[in-house]
Amino acid sequence: MQGAQDLHLLYPEFLAGLIDETKIISAPYVFRNLAHAQAYLKSDLFKPGLDKLRSLGAIVLDTDWTWMQKDPRGLIAVRPIRTPKDLEGLKLRIWESKTAIETWRGLGANTIVVPRPEMYLAFKQGIIEGGPETIGIAYDQKNAEVARYWTRTDEYFQIVNVMMNERKYQSLTPPQRQWLHQAAKVGGQAYANESERGFTDKKAKAVKEFGVTILEPDLGLWRKQAEGVLVKLEAEGVIPKGLAAKAKALK
């Protein structure tokens, strides 16, 4: 935003401290699927967030929000987790995020903040028994070596973008700007294709090399329990009142 770098790979949910519209992105079960999350990011509901981002000194290059993370959200654990009831007492690694902590605490887990680089060691030492992450990341980080049950949870959907410094963008010619927008769309397709390998190639490797069991339960009970989490997040001012309901209603 200040121009120290020109481009940055942006996970919009990480702007929650600056932009209200990003606060519901990682809230549990607001969105049905990636297409629904994309519709929100392209909607009039999210536009004030983009306007705020521009006022802070940055823009996003992919206006269609095509950089979809197709390795779905899940949970790697030392025991099988099929319903929120199975989370009771589970020592769950979480990151420093009020939304993430309240989400998994509300679903039943015993949340423990552990930095990402220490996650594998925390598993080995018994400090944690599980943690939310995609199977692709669980394989890459070797967490699948010590926690051999992975449950697909789809609690939220990740779409990233390329953020650019506004002043740098304005310094370019119109053709140069257009090339950047076109390149961002090409990159989005490549990112989606590559991330999808986490749920194909890497999932298969996790099963074959580490004996991981893949669980894809019906998420009805998860969605139902998450309703109370959303109420609490709104009551505590963590997410804007009414925004999640409006986002849920998007077609």
247 in a domain, yes or no?
no
Rounded Cα distance between 247 and 36, Å, is 9
On whether residue 220 sits in a domain, the answer given is yes
Is 243 a domain residue?
Answer: no
pTM score, two decimals? 0.93
Compute, in degrees rounded to 10, the torsion defined by CA atoms 162, 157, 230, 123: -100
**pLDDT at position 31 over 90:** yes
Question: What pLDDT score was predicted for residue 217?
Answer: 98
Residue 249 within a domain = no
In a domain, 68, yes or no: yes
- Give the CATH number, domain containing residue 41: 3.40.190.170
> So what's the pLDDT on residue 79?
97
Answer for the pair 59, 169: CB distance below 8 angstroms, yes or no.
yes
Q: What angle do CA 114, 120, 126 make, to 5 degrees?
A: 75
62-104 pLDDT tens trace: 999 999 999 999 999 999 999 999 999 999 999 998 999 999 9
Instruction: Give per-residue pLDDT as tens, 111-162.
Output: 999 999 999 999 999 999 999 999 999 999 999 999 999 999 999 999 999 9
Domain count of the chain?
A: 1
26 domain residue, yes or no: yes
For position 70, what pLDDT does the model report? 97
Tell me if 81 is assigned to some domain. Answer: yes
Q: What is the extent of the structural domain holding 12?
A: 1-236
C-alpha distances in Å from residue 23, one per residue of 11, 14, 142, 159, 241: 12, 9, 30, 14, 11
Given a contact cutoff of 8 angstroms between Cβ atoms, the answer to whether 21 and 53 are in contact is no
Q: Supply the pLDDT for residue 251.
A: 86
Report the distance separating Cα 208 and Cα 218, nearest Å: 25
Mean pLDDT along residues 224-242? 95
